Amino acid sequence: MQLPLQQKCTEFLFEKMPSYDWRKICERSVLIFLAFALFWKGGKSLEATWLLTALAWFCTYVYWWKRPKEDSIPALLWFAVMMFVGFTVLSFLKSSTANYGLDEVLRTGSLALIFFWVMRRRAEEGEKSYFERLVNVLLIALLIAGIIGLFVYFFQPVNRFVGTFFDYRFHTDYWPNAWADYVLLAWPLAAWWALREKFIFLSVLRFCVLGIIIGFLILTYSRGAMIAFVGQVLLWIILVTFAHWKSKTLPWKKALLNSSVTFLVALGLFFSANAVRSQYFPVQSVEEKVTFTADEGKSSVSERSQFWNQAWVLSAEKPLTGWGPYSFRFVQPRLQTSVLATSDHPHNVILKYAAERGWVAALLFLVIVLTILFKAVRHRVNSKQLFLVLGLTGLLAHNMIDFNLQFVAVALLFWMMLGMLAQDIEWVARSKLNKKLVRFFEVTLATTLLVVAIIESQGMVTSSLGRHAEARGDSQKALYWYKQAKNQWMSRDLHLSRAKILYDLRRLEEAKDAISDYFEENKEDPRAWKRLGDIL
């Protein structure tokens, strides 16, 4: 009985497995995960980050397993991306708030590897392009997420559209701006899909779908996202006009029809959705939102200004490596000047990276993205490149006044689109990379990230058991599980929870020890100092 089983295992591992089309398995896995991240809270969860890490390892391993003859990535671009990852890792190793931020390291490294994988992807002869399949999956997933979002908008108190970017467990965890970012990335791809249809009736139907997607954007009531959207439309008009200027073949009648259908459907969805919602909950006033007389007043503007200034000050204090990934939340309060004016990030992607990872990492990110965008626009862009540029510039513009790249769904789509755009650029005087060296660094990076994720997953599970026990009021069981997870790198608030439980049990010396454990990883958190004051 044992021998046949061994033979079957051997046959499977060495005969059947190598014969599978692993390239297509990778492609489908990425598309499935893209949809999963969208549906599962927009990817705002540790599970999504850990799965992304496994996916990046899988894609990297399969690519290099096939031993390609040459590497298609320009040397300078490859070095810039790897340095961005490297400075992120260095920032975490020198972090002042090391109990947080490991998830950002895993995401950054994994997204860089997927960027490389997408950029190297080439369609085989006669095969539908990966870009087309991405668009098809994206549109289906986006429409389903939008329908779910409509029910949330109708029957939940939150007065802005969030799609699937919410956590049902907490009434505060609704993220309309993150959903808006996702739509800013996606709607240009929907426009590309709509423009490909030649038959009038089907073309109108496709532009109705585009109108529905834009309606989902308008319902977010995001001023910043709408400004970015208008900028995208203006950029589209400029690029198309410039491309047809000499030939004077601009199809303005068709463009007028398509845009009319799109915006009529978008406005129809906006007013219809608000009419349904008004039967259950108050509807946000557009006039109040535009004139800054809504509940938040002008605080969204004034607080952003404060966050930018504070991030600049913090980045100047540690310009090389920053304070550590996800550190702004803890180091910003000491510069706080207004009541409740705190945030997890400074509402600007460049200032976030500068304050948390250092100016080198921030400038590397900016150079990578802008180089690809400028190279794409300098040459005559084709249809696919045009809409990739529109999506990427829209997200980048909005993230100058916000930050939503911590959502795996948003970040993954961003880096995939960036890779597809970079893939089509004609890189001049491309210097060749040493294939063996590139393979070594990428496989090492992917494997290291995966091993760290696997090791940390045990602590994640045990600390989660501790939190559930604490929520039930079972203090002893919670302390037991917290002790089991004590040595994990990403301990987050574990030691603070220990200190609280021990303080409530009047075991003050042990509570002080728990705070000491917390200070070994993070001395910047005001909550820890307050807890220590209570204990003393």
Q: Could you tell me the domains of the chain? A: 137-293 (no CATH), 457-535 (1.25.40.10)
List pLDDT tens digits, range 273-329.
Answer: 999 999 999 998 887 777 766 666 566 777 889 999 999 999 999 999 999 999 999
List pLDDT tens digits, range 22-45.
Answer: 888 999 999 999 999 999 999 998
What pLDDT is recorded for position 429?
62
Taking the CA atoms of residue 146, residue 152, residue 157 and residue 159 in that order, the dihedral angle to the nearest 10 degrees is 10
Whether 6 shows a pLDDT value over 70: the answer reads no
φ and ψ at 189, to 5 degrees?
Answer: -70, -35
Eight-class DSSP state of 68: -
What pLDDT is recorded for position 66?
73
Q: In the block, which residue shows the tokens 């290291």?
A: 448
Query: What is d(CA 183, CA 177) in angstroms, rounded to the nearest whole number?
Result: 10
Whether 12 shows a pLDDT value over 60: the answer reads no
User: If residue 440 lies in a helix (H) or strand (E), which one and from where to where?
Assistant: helix 435-472
Whether 250 shows a pLDDT value over 80: the answer reads no
Our measurement of the distance from residue 247's CA atom to the centroid of its chain's CA atoms, rounded to an integer in Å, reads 40
List pLDDT tens digits, range 42-54.
Answer: 999 899 999 999 9
Among 437, 477, 490, CA closest to 100:
490
Whether 3 shows a pLDDT value over 70: the answer reads no
Q: What does 160-225 look like in DSSP terms, one character per residue?
A: S--TT-B-TT-TT-B-HHHHHHHHHHHHHHHHHHHHT--SHHHHHHHHHHHHHHHHHHHTT--HHH
Query: What is d(CA 393, CA 240) in angstroms, rounded to the nearest whole number?
Result: 16
Whether 446 contacts 61, CB under 8 Å: yes
Residues 122-129 have a mean pLDDT of 56
Q: What's the Cα-to-Cα distance from 32 to each of 109, 111, 378, 414, 419, rounded to whole Å?
A: 20, 16, 34, 16, 18
Taking the CA atoms of residue 356, residue 360, residue 361 and residue 362 in that order, the dihedral angle to the nearest 10 degrees is 80
Structure tokens at 36: 């999963």
Mean pLDDT of the chain: 89
Residues 241-254 have a mean pLDDT of 70
Q: What's the Cα-to-Cα distance from 338 to each of 7, 207, 229, 307, 327, rounded to whole Å?
A: 70, 46, 31, 11, 20
List pLDDT tens digits, range 433-458.
Answer: 788 899 999 999 999 999 999 999 98
What pLDDT is recorded for position 129?
84
What pLDDT is recorded for position 387?
95
List pLDDT tens digits, range 146-192.
Answer: 999 999 999 999 999 999 999 887 777 899 999 999 999 999 999 99
Going by pLDDT thresholds of 50, 70 and 90, the confidence category of residue 70 is low
Residues 377-391 have a mean pLDDT of 82
Going by pLDDT thresholds of 50, 70 and 90, the confidence category of residue 5 is low
Pick from 55-69, 430-444, 500-514 the range whose average pLDDT is largest: 500-514
List pLDDT tens digits, range 139-153.
Answer: 999 999 999 999 999
Whether 263 contacts 211, CB under 8 Å: yes
Other C-beta atoms within 10 Å of 480: how many?
14
Query: What is d(CA 409, CA 405) in angstroms, rounded to the nearest whole number?
Result: 8
What pLDDT is recorded for position 295?
60
The pTM score is: 0.93
- Distant-in-sequence, close-in-space partners of 211: CB < 8 Å, separation ≥ 6: 261, 262, 263, 264, 265, 266, 268, 269
Eight-class DSSP state of 333: G
Whether 503 shows a pLDDT value over 80: the answer reads yes
Going by pLDDT thresholds of 50, 70 and 90, the confidence category of residue 1 is very low
Structure tokens at 167: 């956590």
List pLDDT tens digits, range 330-368.
Answer: 999 998 887 777 889 999 999 999 999 999 999 999 999
